[in-house]
Amino acid sequence: MIERLCIIGVGLIGGSLARALRDAGSCRHVVGASRNLDNLRLAVELGVIDSYETDLARAVAGADMVLVAVPLGAMEPVFSAIRGSLAEGSVVTDAGSAKVSVIEAAHRAFGRVPEFFVPGHPIAGTERSGVAASLPDLYRNRRVILTPLPETALEATRKVRAMWEAAGARVAEMEPVHHDEVLAATSHLPHVLAFTLVESLARLHDKAEIFEYAAGGFRDFTRIASSDPVMWRDICLANGNAIQQMIERFITDLQVLDQAVEARDGERLLQIFGDAKAARDRFVH
């Protein structure tokens, strides 16, 4: 049981966690914190949080669990703001999509990596953002990756794991650098491609007709291009090296496809598409 959960950044991710824990009866009180007063008031109206603070130091006072669910670029200022105001025994975790940058931000803010800090990343979400988009079942049977460090207290990791499991998630642990490499391939690259495709088509002279006649495949592939641009800017800056490696690899593979199309090489095209279909089918099942 979490007595007092403080969620800094009450949007889709933080709000969905609060809803899930409330439904599970695993949290007595949720306090939300951000600079957006209207969003905090809406969160109270929706029953996502019980109270709110715009001052982060006051928000974390007395909380036994703190979730920092803000864009990566805001992590260090948040850590600096709550430093010195955390209750004894409090555990701090985050929901950032790139773990190395968050760990570095915590080190700069606290002067070390605190034993009470458990880096984490819920592999769940939608293209929508804000507390109104939060869902009580967002994490059900979805993965959450924790990347605890040697400095991290085992009890802190246990508490964060228990919190996410109470929300319905399947929790795994991973080394931070490896996490960033894996997510660059499976999450960051697809988002970059979706954003780039839509932006490229939007610059065509007949873009209105293109979007008017776009079929389901286009909508399915580009759905994630409706995600928060600020969040994805920060992810690209924070995990740039790993993302760039995946972009370069994708360019190489795209050139192979381009050469097959140019040569009208049906056998090569069938092999590429067949291998891709088989891999996708294995993943789905």
CB neighbour burial string for 25-52, b if at least 16 within 10 angstroms, e if fewer: ebbeebbbbbebeebbebbbeeebbbeb
Domains and their CATH numbers in the chain? 2-174 (3.40.50.720), 178-284 (1.10.3660.10)
Find where tokens 């795994």 sit: 172
10 Å Cβ neighbour count for 19? 23
| pLDDT band at 218; cut points 50, 70, 90 | confident
pLDDT higher than threshold 80 for residue 206 = no
Token pair of 65 as six digits: 């669990």
Residues 211-228, mean pLDDT to the nearest whole number: 85
% of the chain at pLDDT higher than 90: 87
- CA atoms of 283 and 285, how far apart (whole Å): 6
Distance separating alpha carbons of residues 236 and 189, to the nearest angstrom: 9
Q: What is the pLDDT of residues 135-180, one digit of tens each?
A: 999 999 999 999 999 999 999 999 999 999 999 999 999 999 999 9
Give this prediction's pTM: 0.89
Reduced to 3 states (helix: H, G, I; strand: E, B; else coil), residue 50 is coil
Q: How far apart are CA 95 and CA 123, in angstroms?
A: 9
